[in-house]
Every structure is written in C-alpha cells, then in structure tokens.
C-alpha cells in the first residue's frame, strides 16, 4: 500500500503574529514546535507584544527575522512588507490576539504592520484571543469577535477558561500551543483552492467513539488494548473544524489533553459505560463514527472484589468470561432514519483479505461505511500517527485509503460520510 507524507506541517509557510497580551510568553513555544514539525515560520510582533516577548527570541527560534512596525516602510524592503508577508504565508496565526488588534482587524484598520497585513491577507487566518475575563465579556469585544468568526477564511479558537495572569478565574485564556498547532494542521488539510475553510458540517451533530475500553478483572488486573484514541480524536476535531457540533465518547487516551479543546467529551472506562452513553446520545446525532477499540471480553458479573492468585485467575479466564456485546451492530440496528454510521474494523492480512473480511463485517454490523484498518503493518494503526486501509461502502464501493496522517485521513472519511445518501448531506 502506498504511503503519503504524514507530516501536514512539513515545508508549509506559516506566519505567526503575537499581540499585546501576557499570553505572548507562550508564542515562542508555538514557534519552536512548528519548526520541529518541519514548517517554515516567520514572526510579527506588535509594539505591545515586543515588551512581553523578545523579538530576538522569536527570530532565533524561527530561523528568520522577526518583523516589527518600524520595519514596515524600511528602505531595505523592495516591496511593501505587509503585502510581501501576506502573499508569502499559507496560513497566518495570531496567538495571542489582543482586544486592540481584534478591534482594528474587525473594522479594517491598517495602522501598523500586523493590522495592514490582516487587511491585505487573502489566506486563512487562525485567531486565538487572550485577555482578561471582563474584557472578553465586553459587548464591543464580542461584537468584533462575531464579525471575525463570520469570515469563511478564519478559524476562530475561542479562549478557554482557567486562572488568568490577572488572578481572575474565567474565560480569556489562550488555548494551548499544542492545540493551536493541531488547528494549523487541520486548516492546511481543510482549506479549498480559493483559500476558504470548508464548513460543510455546519448544522450537523457528529457522535464519535474513541480510545480503548477497560474491563477490570480484580483490584489489580484489567483487560484492554493498544489503542491511543488518536484516530477518533482527529475525526472529532476535523468535524468541529468543519462546523459540526461534536460529542466525543472516549476511553483512557494517550494524547495531550489540550487536543480535546472545544469538544463535548464524555469519558468512560468500560464497555457498559460506553454503551450507556452511546444509547443516550445517539438520538440527537446526524452521524456516528465508531472509532473506539472496545475490549472483546469481560468478567461475568463484573470484577472480583479481592485480588486472586494467578492460578485462580487462569481458571476464571477459562470459565467465567463472556464476549462484550457488539456496540456497532447494536447502534446500527436501532438508529433513527437517515442517521449515517461509519465503523472501523481492526484486521490483519493482505489487501484482498482485508476487503473480504471488511465486507463481511460491514454486512454483519449494518453500518453504511466501514474502514478496514490493517494493524499488522509497520508504521500505521495502533499507537501510530499514520493510518490507511480500505474504505467500504454501499453498492459495492471499495476505496483504497493511502497511508497518511490520521488527521488527513479523518478529513477524507468525513468527506465520504457526509456524501452518503439518502439525503444526509441535505439534512437541517
């Protein structure tokens, strides 16, 4: 099976701008992470930001000049700097975005390098505000923010809640650099040829399961599997990026907690907990993606209350275990009309075997699409950043999915899911 480039940021041109917020001290972390991911980065700082974060530090970390207002009309520049930078960048990232810069941007003012650059910019912009809770709640700020969010070329990362530098506890905290980096990758994958960010999931609700489940045996032992939860989380964030409301039911994840930013999360441990939550949330979903790796066996009657010996454990395994119900088949059999379901099947074998086994599973489970996912190939599947396989669909559809980043694969699967008939893509 062919392999695509699995680093969405490698070689991409990113302009990172910092405004006058104390959160600017996090901007060097973002720049450093982007460089490590293979991106080409240039930085811009406003006059206020230059008092909080050193332009020299950003220049050193980015391996490029850090531009300031005094550079805008320099005789050393052959072209207007704000135009040159706006045309160079594939993505502009403003982290942090201050209330002042937000106001200038929303009103089309061009009284500084960053302000001029944003007026001239024709590529997608990722905006991550940071400010005091009272400032963020101000009606004028919210009006400006609403205007920016309406721009189809803007990915608006609303601030999260937490302890702020002013000792207030509330909304206003810039999202973590790790999540901003993830958002950049989604933006690069999701933008169209005319630089607009796809919003084809707007008005839809997607329910995603992710990660492993855990079945306790006794107070010391448990059964689980190797799933990190990455594929399901990428599906959830990709759908959110494209405008969906997303519920994520997940087992224990091996991922940065910041990657769950903006999702409605429902943490569970056992298959029973996942089944209960699925049943509760299914009626409100337009589509379901069952990416969780549910443990196959569990102890009849629940775990033993006291730790038992190895010998007793062996006897228990052979005599007192039962197969966990097939959650995908149960969800598919009881779904509302027009609800689309994507299933995953962890399989082994060559491509021919993969297709045959996948088709049988798809028919037995009753889902609309099934991602036949090989787990016996190096560099993909469980605990890897890449994935691939064969996507099976209605009317004998067979689509090879090249091995690529799980983030890029998530968008391809969402394309297939929203294209299902009858009328899923036309609902709401």
* CATH number assigned to the domain with residue range 205-426, chosen from the 4 options 3.40.50.300, 3.30.565.10, 1.10.540.10, 3.40.50.10300: 3.40.50.10300
pLDDT bucket at 76, cuts 50 / 70 / 90? confident
Encode burial over 250-278: b for 16+ CB neighbours within 10 A, e otherwise.
bbebebeeebbbbbebbebbbbebbbebb
Residue-averaged pLDDT of the chain: 90
Instruction: Lowest mean pLDDT of 249-253, 302-306, 350-354, name the range.
Output: 302-306
Is 121 labeled as catalytic in the residue annotation?
no
188/12 Cα distance (integer angstroms) = 9
| 190: Cα within 13 Å, side-chain hemisphere | 34
- 174 vs 215: which has the higher pLDDT: 174
Beta sheet of 369-374, edge-to-edge order: 264-267, 245-250, 205-210, 287-290, 340-347, 369-374, 386-392, 398-405
In the chain, domain spans: 13-190, 205-426
Mean pLDDT, residues 90-94: 97
CB atoms within 10 A of CB 381: 23
Q: What is the pLDDT of residue 318?
A: 67
* The pTM of the whole model exceeds 0.85: yes
Q: Residue 308 above 80 pLDDT? A: no
Q: What is the pLDDT of residue 381?
A: 78
Task: Please identify which of the residues 66, 121, 166, 187 carries the catalytic annotation.
Answer: 166
51/49 Cα distance (integer angstroms) = 5
**CA angle (275 as vertex; 272, 280 as ends), nearest 5:** 130
- Tens digit of pLDDT for each residue in 134-146? 999 999 999 999 9
Could you tell me the end-to-end alpha-carbon distance of the chain, in angstroms, rounded to an integer?
38
pLDDT bucket at 3, cuts 50 / 70 / 90? very low
Residue with tokens 């190096």: 378
Token pair belonging to 65: 């000049």
Mean pLDDT, residues 262-291: 95
Token pair belonging to 318: 């052979």
408/403 Cα distance (integer angstroms) = 10
Q: Containing H/E element for 101?
A: helix 99-107
3-class SS at 215? strand
Residue with tokens 């690529």: 404
208/187 Cα distance (integer angstroms) = 20
- Spell out the CATH class of 13-190: alpha beta
DSSP readout, 33-86?
HHHHTT-EEEEEE-TTGGGTS-HHHHHHHHTSPEE-GGGTT-TT-SS-HHHHHH
Q: Residue 1 above 50 pLDDT? A: no
- Is the CB of residue 420 less than 8 Å from the CB of residue 413? no
- Is the CB of residue 48 less than 8 Å from the CB of residue 20? yes
Mean pLDDT, residues 145-159: 95
346/389 Cα distance (integer angstroms) = 10
Token pair belonging to 245: 């409301």
> Is-same-fold flag (13-190; 205-426)?
yes
pLDDT bucket at 298, cuts 50 / 70 / 90? confident
Q: What is the pLDDT of residue 216?
A: 85
Token pair belonging to 426: 């036309």
- Please list, in sequence order, all residues whose beta carbon lies within 8 angstroms of the beta carbon of residue 192, skipping any fewer than 6 positions away: 198
Q: What is the pLDDT of residue 8?
A: 84
pLDDT bucket at 227, cuts 50 / 70 / 90? confident
Mean pLDDT, residues 299-312: 74
Q: Residue 4 above 50 pLDDT? A: no
Q: What is the pLDDT of residue 300?
A: 76
Q: Residue 309 above 60 pLDDT? A: yes
Mean pLDDT, residues 9-25: 96
- Tens digit of pLDDT for each residue in 246-261? 999 999 998 999 999 9
Q: Residue 372 above 90 pLDDT? A: yes
- 420 vs 52: which has the higher pLDDT: 52
Alpha-helix residue ranges (DSSP H) falling in 290-383: 310-319, 327-333, 351-365
What are 171's strand-pairing partners? Answer: 161
What number of residues does the chain have? 428
Q: Residue 416 above 80 pLDDT? A: yes
Residue 158's Cβ-count burial label (10 Å; 0-12, 13-18, 19+) is middle
């Amino acid at each position: 099976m062919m392999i695509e480039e699995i680093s969405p940021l490698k070689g991409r041109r990113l302009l990172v701008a910092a405004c006058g917020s104390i959160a600017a001290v996090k901007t060097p972390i973002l720049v450093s992470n982007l460089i490590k991911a293979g991106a080409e980065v240039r930085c811009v700082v406003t006059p206020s930001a230059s008092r909080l974060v050193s332009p020299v530090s950003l220049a050193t970390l980015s391996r490029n000049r850090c531009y300031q207002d005094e550079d805008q009309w320099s005789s050393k520049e052959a072209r207007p700097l704000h135009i040159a930078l706006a045309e160079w960048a594939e993505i502009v990232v403003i982290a942090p975005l201050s209330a002042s810069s937000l106001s200038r941007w929303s009103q089309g003012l061009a009284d500084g390098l960053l302000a001029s650059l944003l007026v001239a910019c024709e590529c997608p912009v990722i905006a991550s505000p940071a400010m005091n809770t009272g400032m963020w709640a101000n009606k004028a700020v919210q009006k400006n923010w609403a205007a920016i969010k309406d721009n189809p070329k803007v990915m608006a990362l609303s601030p999260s809640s937490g302890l702020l530098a002013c000792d207030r506890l509330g909304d206003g905290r810039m999202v973590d650099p790790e999540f901003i980096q993830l958002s950049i990758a989604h933006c690069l994958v999701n933008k169209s040829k005319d630089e607009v960010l796809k919003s084809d999931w707007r008005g839809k609700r997607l329910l995603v399961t992710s990660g492993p489940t855990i079945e306790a045996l006794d107070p010391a032992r448990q059964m689980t599997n190797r799933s990190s939860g990455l594929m399901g989380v990428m599906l959830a964030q990709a759908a959110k990026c494209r405008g969906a409301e997303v519920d994520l039911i997940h087992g224990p994840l091996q991922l940065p907690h910041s990657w769950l930013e903006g999702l409605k999360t429902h943490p569970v441990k056992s298959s029973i907990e996942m089944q209960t939550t699925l049943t509760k949330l299914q009626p409100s979903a337009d589509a379901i993606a069952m990416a969780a790796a549910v443990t196959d066996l569990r102890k009849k009657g629940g775990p033993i209350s006291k730790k038992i010996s190895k010998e007793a454990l062996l006897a228990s395994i052979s005599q007192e275990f039962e197969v966990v119900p097939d959650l995908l088949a149960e969800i598919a059999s009881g779904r509302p009309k027009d609800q689309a379901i994507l299933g995953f099947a962890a399989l082994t074998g060559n491509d021919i075997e993969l297709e045959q086994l996948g088709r049988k599973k798809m028919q037995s489970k009753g889902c609309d699409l099934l991602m036949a996912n090989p787990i016996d190939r190096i560099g993909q599947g469980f605990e890897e950043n890449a994935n691939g396989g064969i996507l099976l669909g209605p009317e004998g559809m067979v689509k090879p999915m090249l091995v690529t980043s799980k983030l890029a694969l998530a968008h391809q699967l969402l394309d297939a899911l929203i294209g299902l008939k009858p009328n899923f893509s036309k609902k709401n």
